[in-house]
Amino acid sequence: MTNYRTALKDARGLGSAKGGTGDFWLQRVTAVSNILVVAFLVYTAVHLTGASRLDVKTYFSQPIAAIFGVLLAFSISVHMRIGMQVIIEDYVHGFWKVPLLLMNTFFAVLIGAATVLAVIKLFLGA
Amino acid sequence: MTGAANYFGSILLAAWLVSAAMGDQPFDAVSSFLGSPIGLIILFGYTWSVMHHMLGGVRHFIWDFGYGFEIPTVRALSWGTLLGSLTLTAVIWVSAVSHWGAAR
């Protein structure tokens, strides 16, 4: 159906979604924590370049490496979920917006959960 | 731009760790892909993208705190981000290649 109302008329009176400030702040908190965990990732990647699977297991059997591995998973998955949500909200309108927002959250949670589980399994040496 | 690239780059990170947790065969499969010419190109791009995104983020923090809005400063920050990300990427890759297999 053709909508003759202006975009401004549609938006007026709705108020904000109320969640914006939280995401804004969380994106900056995780931006800072990402610097720390990416420093760990760079060290890890350089250290484990050309490494065997046993080397990787040995490396992640160290508690400090496992802790940073879990923090890395949380920090980047939260940050990338908010970042992609903003991209979708800015550029996608209409039918695909909500499915894409859902897929974005599922993707971020999947990456985070898989990485955490992998690090825990490597830490336990299983 | 780099954020979206990093978003999909995270698949590489997850695949590498998950394959290491799974077993020798998956790990060898992922390792040989990442070590192939196309894998190395993707990894190099991922490294640069993450470094550029990180320095771009630092630049935004400087702006968030109210500094660096003068045009010469904006230009310097912009070039600094680019040169910095290229430098960091080069340092990381030179270190990685010189540490090849050093973990064992």
Domains and CATH numbers, chain B: 2-98 (1.20.1300.10)
Residue A14 placed within a domain:
no
Q: By residue range, what is the domain housing residue A45?
A: 35-124
Distances in Å between the Cα of B1 and the Cα atoms of A4, A5, A109, B49, B60 are: 34, 33, 21, 9, 15
What tens digit of pLDDT does each residue of A72-87 get? 999 999 999 999 999 9
What tens digit of pLDDT does each residue of B58-85 get? 999 999 999 989 999 999 999 999 999 9
Question: Shortest Cα distance from A52 to chain B (angstroms)?
Answer: 8
How many domains does chain A fold into?
1
Q: What is the pLDDT of residue B103?
A: 57
Residue A91 placed within a domain:
yes
CATH number for the domain including A116?
Answer: 1.20.1300
Q: Which of A38, A47, A119 sits opposite B17 (nearest CB)?
A: A119
Contacts of B21 (CB under 8 A, 6+ apart): A117, A118, A119, A121, A122
Q: What is the pLDDT of residue A7?
A: 80
Q: Which of B54, B61, B99 sits opposite A38 (nearest CB)?
A: B54
Taking the model in full, what pTM does it have?
0.89
